[in-house]
Amino acid sequence: MTTSSPLDHQFAGSIPALYEAYLVPMLFEPYAADIVGRVPMRAGSTILEIAAGTGVVTRALALALPADTSIVATDLNQAMLDRAAAAGTSRPVEWRQADAMKLPFPDGVFDTVVCQFGAMFFPDKAKAFSEARRVLAPGGAFVFSVWDRLAENELADIVTTALESVFPGDPPRFMDRTPHGYHDVRIVERDLAGGGFNSPPQVFTIEARSRAASARTAAIAFCQGTPLRNEIESRDSALLGAATDEAEAALTRRFGDGAIDARMRAHVLIAAAGSTPNAG
């Protein structure tokens, strides 16, 4: 697996706003309903969301779960949480900045831990999973998702290939390296075991459709609304526009001038905490 770059974890500047406006409806909303549907619906339960981003799953949890469910949503990046809080939820949610590898909560206080497309960003995945296990009550569940390989996700694949012509000597590989770099379920299962989840997880591979109003919208989403922007600008900030234009041209060649409807695929895993608290 390719080592991630520090730039892969920076969601700052205009990225949170563009992420929420363009990337959330295009990629994350279709999977939010699915992952929320896998969260146990128990009255009076406590839910922790990690790597909540701009709150697409948080909003879906607030709508779907019983009114007496407690929801705490966390993210490493305060700018993303600020955008999530500004978007709002249908009922009160506690927003809290937190590192998934060092959660600021006591042992065994949550019935469910949820994480949509965040695990790929954890520098030490087994450690983050150990923290999720630690804060789960006996019998609780860790419900999370990771993207499948780049080739199974058309838009990200096309954009990644398109940027090779803009930076032929050193093409940006953020999408392949990080969002789509943790697709091997066997490795995920190994890291879960390393984090104290002793039973094999349930695994569901979910096909969905990625829709955007235009190639331009999709190009902006990837090139300017994700840390791919950081990688582009670290090479030559003056080429951000050219990179976006090249991504748009490649998407137009594939999908035409109108709306985009593309293939995407992800894995959803459910790991049971078991009855014995994690000693680690």
Cα separation, 167 vs 95, whole angstroms: 39
pLDDT at 14: 80
Report the percent of the chain where pLDDT is more than 90. Answer: 90
Question: Collapsing DSSP states into helix, strand and coil, what is residue 73?
Answer: strand
Tokens read off for 278? 């994690």
CA 125 to chain centre: 14
pLDDT at 145: 98
Given a cut of 80, is residue 29 above it in pLDDT?
yes
| Residue 122 zone, left/alpha/beta (φ > 0; ψ -120 to 50; rest) | beta
Given a cut of 70, is residue 84 above it in pLDDT?
yes
Q: What's the rounded mean pLDDT across residues 190-203?
A: 97
pLDDT at 1: 43
| Domains by residue range for the chain, with CATH | 6-272 (3.40.50.150)
Given a cut of 90, is residue 167 above it in pLDDT?
yes
Cα separation, 142 vs 191, whole angstroms: 13
Q: How far apart are the first and last CA of the chain?
A: 26
pLDDT digits (tens, 9 = 90+) for 250-280: 999 999 999 999 999 999 999 999 865 544 4
pLDDT at 4: 63
Q: What's the rounded mean pLDDT across residues 2-12?
A: 62
Q: What residues form DSSP beta bridges with 81?
A: none
Given a cut of 60, is residue 134 above it in pLDDT?
yes
Helix (H) or strand (E) holding 252: helix 240-255
Nearest to 209 by CA among 252, 265, 250: 265
Q: What residues form DSSP beta bridges with 48?
A: 72, 113
Cα separation, 210 vs 27, whole angstroms: 6
